[in-house]
Structure 1
Amino acid sequence: MSTFTSTSNSTDAKNGNVDGTMSATTMEATSRRPRLSGMTWLVWRQHRAGFWAILAATALSVAWMVYQRGQLVDFLAGYGYPGKDLSEAEGAFQQYDDAFRSVAFGLQVIPILLGVFLGAPLLAGDLENGTAKLVAAQSMSRTRWLATKLALTGLVVLVSTVALSAVFGWWWNPVKSEVTVMDWTSSDAFNNTGPVLFALTILSVFGGVAIGVVLRRTLMAMVVTFGFTAVVQLVWGHFLLSLGNVITVTTNKGVSSENAFPSLPKGVYQIDESYLTGAGDLLGWSTCSGAESDQARELCLKKADVVGWSVDYLPMSQMNGMQWFGASILFALTAGVVAFLFFWGRKRLV
C-alpha cells in the first residue's frame, strides 16, 4: 500500500468515513443549493423563455436609463441649473427631452405588451393544447397549479416594473419641477413612476389570463386582451385628474393690473381659470374678448362686476398620494380578477 493510500484511509477513518468515501452529511452540505422544485420548477421551466426575456430587457433598460441620468446630471451641472432656466438652453437640452419621451412611450406600452404576450397565453395555451388536462390528472390540485402560475408571473412583473419605474423616476427627478420637460399629470410621468406602472401592468396581465381562461384559444385571447388593455389605459387616463383634490385660489385686485393674477406654486397643473365677480359668480375668461379696444374691454368687465381671478389647480405635492390612491383602485380590480380565476378554475379549468 502506498503512502498516499495509507494517509487517505487514515484520514477518512478519523473523519468517520468508510473506504475513503465522502460521508452522507458532507455530500448533503456540498449539494445543498437553493433551487426550484415541484410545481414551481415546472411552471418556471414551462415559461422560462418569456420570464428571462422580460428580466433581461429590464436589466438592459435600467442600465441605459442609469447612463442617461449620468449624462443629464453632467449637462445640468455644466449649464448652471437651477440657477439658469432650462427654457434658455434652446436646442442644447433637446436630446435629453427626446430621451425622456421615447423611454416614457416604451414604458407605457409595457402593460399592453405583457398583457397580450404574457397574460393571454399563460393558461389559454395549456387549455388549447391539453396540458391543463395532464396537470389535472396529477396529484397536484388545479388550485395549486393556478396559484403557482399567477404567483411566478406576478413576481416577474413586480420585479421588472418596479425596477423600471424606480429608475425612471430617479432619472427624471433632477428636472421634475420643469413642466416643459414632462408635465407631472401627463401619462409620460404619472403612469411611469411610483406604483402605477406595476398596478396597470398586473391588471393587464391577470386580465389577459382571465380572458384566456374564458376563451380557451390563444390567438383569440391575445386579440381580445389587446382591446382590454387599450380600454384600461383610456379609462385610466380619463379619470386620472379626478384622483386629486382641486385647489381654488381667488384674487380681488382686478384682472389687468400688475400682480392681479394669483401667484401659483412651481410645477402646478392649472385646470381652469375664470373671472370672479363681486357676487362670487364665475365668468369664462373669454368674457369681453370681443371688445374693440382695451378701454372697451375694461368697461365691459366693469359692467360685468369682475373684481379678480379664480384659478383651479393641482399642486405637484399631491402626485404621490394620487398615484397610490389610483394604484389601490387598480389593485382592487386585480384582486377581483384573481378571485374570478380561482372561482372559475375550481370548476372549469380543464
Structure 2
Amino acid sequence: MSSLTSTPTTSGSKATGTTGTTGMGQLPPLLKGMPWLVWRQHRAVFWTVLGASALAVAFIVFQRSQLHIAGYTPLSTGLRLLPILLGVFLGAPLFAGDLENGTAKLIVTQSVDRTRWLTTKLALTALVVIVSTVALSAAFGWWWNLYKSEVTATEWISEPTFNNTGPVPVALSLFCVFGGVAIGVVLRRTLIAMVVTLGFTVAVQLVWSHFLLSLGNVVTGTSSKGVLAEAAIQTLPRGAYQMDGSRPSFLTGDGKLLDWNTCGDAQTEHALEVCLQKADVVGWSVDYLPISQMNGMQWLGASILLALTAAVTVFLFFWGRKRLA
C-alpha cells in the first residue's frame, strides 16, 4: 500500500528502486510521480488491454495479407463487445476499488491533490483506450477496404462494420469506460459497479443501434417511367441502404406517395394496370442512404459520443473533488 503514496526521486534508476527497469509490470522512466503510481496500480489491466489489442491487430494483418475472410465475422462480432468489456473491467473498478478498500482515503490524506489524482487516472486510462481502439479501428478498416467494393447495403450499415471502423470504436469505448467510471464513483462498490456498468453499456449499444440510421441524410430517388416495365425501376447506387423496408412507394402524378401494396388485390396484369391508372400512379419513390455517407455518419455519431463523454468527465470532476475519498 505504501507504493501508492511514495514519491520517486529524480535520479532515474534510483527512483523508488523500480523505475529504472523495464518489464511487463514496469514502464521506462518517462513516467514519474503520479502517472507512474497510477500505471503501477493498474498495470495488469492496462497491459491486458494493450496486449489483447496487439494480438487482434496481428491476426487482422495476417488474415488480410492472406486474403482470408473466414475470420471476419467472428472478429467483427468480438470487437462489438469491446466497449462493453472495457466499461465493465476497466472503467467500473477504476475508482470503485480504491473507494471500497480505503486506498482513496489514504491517498487524499497524504497531501495528494484529488483533482490531480482524478485527472491522472482518467488521462492514463483514456490514453490506453485510445491507443488500443485506434489501432484496432485502423487495422479492421484496412481489412474491410479489401472487400468494400463488393459489400451490400446491409453490410456497411450493420454494426459489425459501422461500429468497428473509423472514429466510432474509439468514441463508443471512451463513453462506455467513462460511464463505468462514473458509476463506480457513485456506487463505491466494485462488484455492484461492474454489474450496473454491464447493463449501462448494453443499453448504450441498443440505443446507439436504434438511432444509427438517423445519423445520415436520407436521399430520395424517384422515377416517372411507370411501374410495370422492366426498366421502370431505377437501380439504386451500389451499396445504397434502402429505408423503410425492401420496396419503394408508388408515385402519383401529383407527387403523392402510395403504399407498394396499393392494387395488391388485382388478380390479373390488366386489372393491375387499370388500378394503377385509376390511382394515377406514374412511377416510384424510394428513400435510401448511399455508402458515400458512411464516413460522415461515423464522425457525426462519434462527435455525439465524445460530447457525452465530456459531460460525464465534467460530472466526475464536480463529484470527485468532494466525495472521492
Q: Give me the TM-score of the superposition, normalised by structure 1.
A: 0.82
**Matched residue, 1:305:** 280
* Structure having the higher Rg: 1
**Matched residue, 2:209:** 237
**Matched residue, 2:56:** 61
CA distance in 2, matches of 1:182, 1:234: 18
The question of 1:45 aligning with 2:40 is answered yes
* 1:52-71, Cα deviation, whole Å (9 max, x unpaired): 01111111100100111112
Once the two structures are superposed, the pairs formed by residues 153-302 of structure 1 within 5 Å of their partners are 153-180=125-152, 183-272=155-244, 273-302=248-277
The question of 1:123 aligning with 2:123 is answered no
Report how far residue 295 of structure 1 moved: 1.9
Contact 2:153–2:240 (CA under 8 A) maintained in structure 1: no
Contact 2:94–2:181 (CA under 8 A) maintained in structure 1: yes
* 1:31-72, Cα deviation, whole Å (9 max, x unpaired): 897431111111000000000011111111001001111122
* 1:279-313, Cα deviation, whole Å (9 max, x unpaired): 11101112112221222212111111100010111
Contact 1:65–1:167 (CA under 8 A) maintained in structure 2: yes
Amino acid at match of 1:277: T
- The one of 124, 146, 151 equivalent to 1:152 is 124
Contact 2:96–2:185 (CA under 8 A) maintained in structure 1: yes
CA distance in 1, matches of 2:36, 2:29: 12
* 1:147-190, Cα deviation, whole Å (9 max, x unpaired): 11000100000000010011001001021133349611110111
**Gapped runs of 5+ residues in structure 2?**
1-12, 15-19, 22-27
CA distance in 2, matches of 1:176, 1:57: 26
CA distance in 2, matches of 1:346, 1:59: 35
Runs of 4+ in 1 over 2 A off after TM superposition: 31-35, 177-182
Report the CA distance shift for 1:41/1:207 in structure 2 as closer, same or farther (over 3 A): same
Contact 1:176–1:182 (CA under 8 A) maintained in structure 2: no
Amino acid at match of 2:31: L
CA distance in 1, matches of 2:268, 2:147: 41
CA distance in 1, matches of 2:232, 2:138: 40
Identity of aligned residues (%): 68
Contact 1:248–1:313 (CA under 8 A) maintained in structure 2: yes
RMSD: 1.9
Contact 2:152–2:239 (CA under 8 A) maintained in structure 1: no
* 1:68-119, Cα deviation, whole Å (9 max, x unpaired): 11122xx7xxxxxxxxxxxxxxxxxxxx2x4221111111000000100110
**Matched residue, 1:319:** 294
Once the two structures are superposed, the pairs formed by residues 336-347 of structure 1 within 5 Å of their partners are 336-347=311-322
Contact 1:66–1:167 (CA under 8 A) maintained in structure 2: yes
Contact 1:248–1:312 (CA under 8 A) maintained in structure 2: yes
**Gapped runs of 5+ residues in structure 1?**
1-26, 76-95
* 1:108-155, Cα deviation, whole Å (9 max, x unpaired): 000000100110000000000000001101122011111110001000
Amino acid at match of 2:258: L
Report the CA distance shift for 1:133/1:120 in structure 2 as closer, same or farther (over 3 A): same
Q: Secondary structure at the match of 1:309?
A: strand
CA distance in 1, matches of 2:130, 2:264: 52
Q: Give me the TM-score of the superposition, normalised by structure 2.
A: 0.89
**Matched residue, 2:10:** none
Report the CA distance shift for 1:182/1:296 in structure 2 as closer, same or farther (over 3 A): closer
Report how far residue 341 of structure 1 moved: 0.3
- The one of 89, 112, 117 equivalent to 1:140 is 112
Once the two structures are superposed, the pairs formed by residues 65-144 of structure 1 within 5 Å of their partners are 65-72=60-67, 96=69, 98-144=70-116
**Matched residue, 2:4:** none
Number of aligned pairs? 300
